[in-house]
Each structure stands twice: as structure tokens, then as C-alpha cells.
Structure 1
């Protein structure tokens, strides 16, 4: 038997190292497959909800709100606009901008008005956003 035909036996340390490496590789491949299958390719779905409690402090009315991105992608520069109409005329407006809103994330804020929002019609909406 020549040297080229001799069979080299693996040591237990080599088998253990090979097994651990294959196990780690299988975990990585499984995670990539799981993310690929469950990935949401939805654009940002942004909604704004007005909270129930309006606070009055020093003659100003604070209207809290919550913005939620229930979509799959991230939105940047989310612009929220509030309009207060009294007797069918726009009396006050306000703007808020949220720099970054990832999928499933919530942000809170408040609009400040000098007139009581309960005396008119308050409309809070998402005006725009951009994709990163």
C-alpha cells in the first residue's frame, strides 16, 4: 500500500469541530429561510389616533396623539397635520414631523391649541412620508 492510497483517520477533535460548524451553518440557513418566508413586503401603513384626554394648561389645550406604522417597511419624515374647524372655518392648524418610524413602531406626541378643540371639529391626519 502506497502513501497516496492510505486512508487518513480523523481525530475526535476534528469530528467535534466539524459537527459544531455544521450545526451553526444549519441554524444560519434556517433563520435566513424563516425570515425570507415570513417577510412582509408591505409599504408603510401609517395611522394616527387621537387620545381621549385633552389637557388645559395655562390657557392652552394639549391634544395627545399616537402614530402607528403597521406596515412592513420603514417610513421617514412622517408629517402629521391637525386642523381645528370652528363654525366650518379653519381656526388653527398644527404640524408634527416624526423623523423615523419603522414597521410596527409607535410614536406619541401632542398638538397645542389656543382654542378648545372640543368646541369645534378636530381633524388629525398623516399628510406625507418618504421611504428611506
Structure 2
């Protein structure tokens, strides 16, 4: 009998600690669910907004690399994003390239590079996002 009383009193002492642990875990889970619901309800379903930025040009073995980064600042995903790069000399297109990015989620960025054989500093480089489609 003495052993069962000590086990019972030990269980009574453990119960508040278990309840505190349960309450903290429940609070964390409910907070996560609340944040997900808040984001889902307040997020506008904005179409993709695509922008392109160019990095510093580098030359390697007679070829000129023009790195770029495409960013989707919209809310929806863009698929089959087509990026065009053109080297213009005296207003004429001397070289051009095209890249395809499979998809860009909202807030996501992808990097790439165009490679030209002519020195871009002798002309003008035009990089632009030409098209995309919705999933």
C-alpha cells in the first residue's frame, strides 16, 4: 500500500508539469495555424510581377558573360518565363539570346547568364522578360 500511495503522489506532482508542457505545445501549434490562416486570408492573389536585374559583366576566354537575376514579386507563380538578351550596336541587334525559366513562385528569384562573343561595352545590352504563363 505504501508503494501505491507514493506512485499516486508522484503522479499528482507530475500532472501540473504535464499540463504546462501541453499548454505550451498547444499554444505553439495554435499560433502556427493562426499565422498560416492569417497569411492565406490577407494575401492578395496578385498576378506575377517579374523584374530583371543585371550583374557585372565578366570576360573569360574571349566570351562575355552577362549574369542576371529574375525575381517574381507578385503573389502567383509564373511558368515558362522567357528571358531575352540582346546586344545592340548602333541600334542594330548584333547578338541575341533566350533563356527559359521553368517556374518562379511568388517572392522567388532565379539567376542565369547570357554569353556574347562581342564586347558589350562597345554597344548596349538589353535584358528583358518577354513572356510567362500561369500554371
**Which TM class, normalised by the smaller chain length?**
0.7 to 0.9
* 1:34 corresponds to: 38
Deviation of the 1:32 alpha carbon: 5.2
Structure 1 gaps of 5+ residues are 1-15
More helix by share: 2
What is the RMSD computed on CA atoms of the aligned residues?
2.1
Equivalent in 72, 82, 85 of residue 88 of structure 2: 85
Rounded to whole Å, the distance in 1 between the matches of 2:121 and 2:104 is 29
Equivalent in 24, 49, 56 of residue 53 of structure 2: 49
Q: After the TM superposition, which parts of structure 1 deviate over 6 Å for at least 4 consecutive aligned residues?
A: none
* 1:11 corresponds to: none
* 1:97 corresponds to: 100
* 2:11 corresponds to: none
Rounded to whole Å, the distance in 2 between the matches of 1:93 and 1:82 is 5
* 2:14 corresponds to: none
Relative to the length of structure 2, the TM-score reads: 0.74
Alpha-carbon distance change, 120 to 38 in structure 1, aligned in 2, over 3 angstroms: same
Equivalent in 110, 128, 131 of residue 125 of structure 1: 128
Relative to the length of structure 1, the TM-score reads: 0.75
Rounded to whole Å, the distance in 2 between the matches of 1:112 and 1:36 is 41
How many residues align? The count is: 112
